[in-house]
Amino acid sequence: MSAPVLTNRVVPRIRAGAKATRVLERNLMSSRRNWPVILSGFFEPVFYLFSIGVGISELVGDVVGPDGVAIGYTAFVAPALLASSAMNGAVFESTMNVFFKLKYDKLYDTMLSTPLVPWDIAIGEITWSLIRGAIYTLGFMVVMAFMGLIASPWAILVFPAATLIGFAFGALGMAATTYMRSWQDFDLVTLVTLPLFLFSATFYPLDVYPPAIQTLTQISPLYHSVELIRALTLGIFDISLVGHISFLVVMGAIGLRITGKRFATLLTK
């Protein structure tokens, strides 16, 4: 009787990112007790919207919209606040929460003792930050509809557009988080997001800014987000939408690439 022949079995390599849903599942389960904290970020832009709709809008009157037609000030500002809401939800989820898991909780080190790889963690966390931004967007759209601020049926595209915004800011925010060393570094997050919120054609049309500020505004990622959402809520379609979408896609892709590489470096050294 001949001895059995032993052959080397090659186990196929699991594609990076294929198990990212496990990270997402973990975040969904852990958030069940923290949903009030998650929802709290939704109220700030809603309070801004109510204050503008009740008081400031009556003082300002109409402004010129993207298509050159005069619209109410509340209808002009509401899409910008929606874009800001999507940005805030993604940024705060992808910065502070990720930093705690990475530096203090050591959660990601534990995850790597399973079949997960760093790219799974990066994609899963970015997807979760995107979902948080989408939750804010959905709630804000309900408020806008209640206030009669949705002027076009094309506004249904606002949700996927805001999801793209969440991806872009979540990916870049997480990439920045991998370079942070302490909680004091998060002052830089506010230092970046607050000027973006105030100077991205959020409250005023672009043409009221001085020329130098207009140039800076046009490279702001929130400006492209605001213009995209504003055009969809008003039913305005032109070639500029391609530029806004392309900007956000490239921004998200760069952030994802940096995050994946940095996670691989930090978690495997």
Three-class HEC string of the chain: CCCCCCCCCCCCCCCCCCCHHHHHHHHHHHHHHCHHHHHHHHHHHHHHHHHHHHHHHHHHCEEECCCCCEEEHHHHHHHHHHHHHHHHHHHHHHHHHHHHHHHCCCHHHHHCCCCCCHHHHHHHHHHHHHHHHHHHHHHHHHHHHHCCCCCCHHHHHHHHHHHHHHHHHHHHHHHHHCCCCCHHHHHHHHHHHHHHHHCCCCCCCHHHCCHHHHHHHCCCHHHHHHHHHHHHHHCCCCCHHHHHHHHHHHHHHHHHHHHHHHHHHHHHC
Quick check: 62 pLDDT over 50? yes
Say which residue, 131 or 252, is predicted with more confidence.
252
Residue 11's pLDDT is 35
For 31-54, what is the mean pLDDT? 71
Give the pLDDT band of residue 60 (cuts 50, 70, 90): confident
Q: Is the pLDDT of residue 223 over 90?
A: yes
